[in-house]
Amino acid sequence: MFVRYLPGELTLFHVGQVSVLTSWDYGFAGRCFGPVSTEELRALITQSSLPRAAFVRQAGAGLWYPGNVVAELLDEEADWPPAGAGFRDIPAGPWARFWARSLDMMIATLACTLTAMVGTSLFNDGEAAGLVARSMVFSAIAYPLTAVVINVLSQALSGGTIGKAIFGITVGNRDRQRDVAFFFRRELFVWLAGNAAYIPLAAFIANILQYLRLRKGENASYDGNSTFVIGRPSRVRIIAGCLVMATFASKVVFPLLFRLATR
């Protein structure tokens, strides 16, 4: 198969078959646009108006592909669809990702709290000051380890976390990497680059910077050009997920944290 460009259209020639692609959809940060013509899409790419993490597909049907892959298609002879895995949807918006990650962090906090309670009970010498110090140490060590283990195992086994499943988003990779090693590396980078190792002020700044990147249609700094968080959850699903998260926090997580603090 070879590709030839004609004014206003992209023509793909097969032996005994001709397919003309005259329009495209593109989307990023949970928002979809189009259809646009091939010339308009080419202009968006040339003018750098198409965000680097935007996805593109044939208008109305088919899998989505990263914009940088389609840019190569529009600049040189190539096959369609491009080599590598396509995606069933466009990159998720920053708020869907925020709420999903928040719920996952609550679940990790619950596991961490239980671990801290067991640890301080095993090494309780009856001194209040020592008990508080040990609780803080156990919590500081257990939280990142617990969060990484829970998120890595759940994604490697089921393809997602509890938070992502509730809010309707998934992690996708063009190379189809879905093993424990891949998710471990990603969670480690999320912990360091996305959350600044949960250092209070630094974590807040890191989250803001990642939000601004996602809002502009860029990928998160820890995901590079091949890994994307995919999905467009409805407003109803977002509200329902937030209600689940609020109930879980008020009925389970906060009471346990209060119990640990008052021991």
Give the pLDDT mean for 154-171: 89
Contact status, residue 4 vs residue 11, Cβ threshold 8 Å: yes
Strand partners, 3: 12
Candidate from 1-5, 113-117, 127-131 with smallest mean pLDDT: 1-5
Q: Specify the amino acid at residue 173.
A: N
Q: How many helices (H) and strands (E) does the chain have?
A: 9, 9
Q: Is the confidence at residue 93, as pLDDT, over 60?
A: yes
Which residue did the predictor score with more confidence, 11 or 198?
Answer: 198
Per-residue confidence (pLDDT) for residue 263, from 0 to 100: 62
61 — pLDDT class (breaks 50, 70, 90):
confident
Residue 167 three-state SS: helix
Is residue 72 very low, low, confident or very high in pLDDT (cuts 50, 70, 90)?
low
pLDDT band of residue 4 (cuts 50, 70, 90) is very low
* Other CB atoms within 10 Å distance of the CB of residue 31: 13
Strands of 9-14's sheet in order across: 2-6, 9-14, 17-21
Across the chain, mean pLDDT equals 78
CB distance 179 to 173 below 8 Å: no
pLDDT band at 238 (very low <50, low <70, confident <90, very high): very high
pTM metric for this prediction: 0.77
> Which of the two residues, 241 and 138, has the higher pLDDT score?
241
- pLDDT value of residue 10: 35
| 15-24, 187-196, 245-254: segment of lowest average pLDDT | 15-24
**How is residue 127 written in tokens?**
């001194």
DSSP H helices, 34-161, are: 38-46, 67-75, 94-122, 128-158
Identify the top-confidence range among 44-48, 93-97, 122-126, 224-228: 93-97
Please compute the mean of the pLDDT values over residues 75-86 and round it to a whole number.
Answer: 63
Neighbouring C-beta atoms of residue 258, cutoff 10 Å: 10
Dihedral angle sign, alpha carbons of residues 71, 75, 81, 82: negative
Mean pLDDT of 33-43: 85
Question: What is the rounded distance in angstroms from the CA atom of residue 205 to the CA atom of residue 194?
Answer: 10
Q: Which domains does the chain have, with CATH numbers?
A: 2-75 (3.30.1490), 94-261 (no CATH)
Q: Which of 58-62, 93-97, 178-182 has the highest mean pLDDT?
A: 93-97
Could you tell me the pLDDT band of residue 146, with boundaries at 50, 70 and 90?
confident
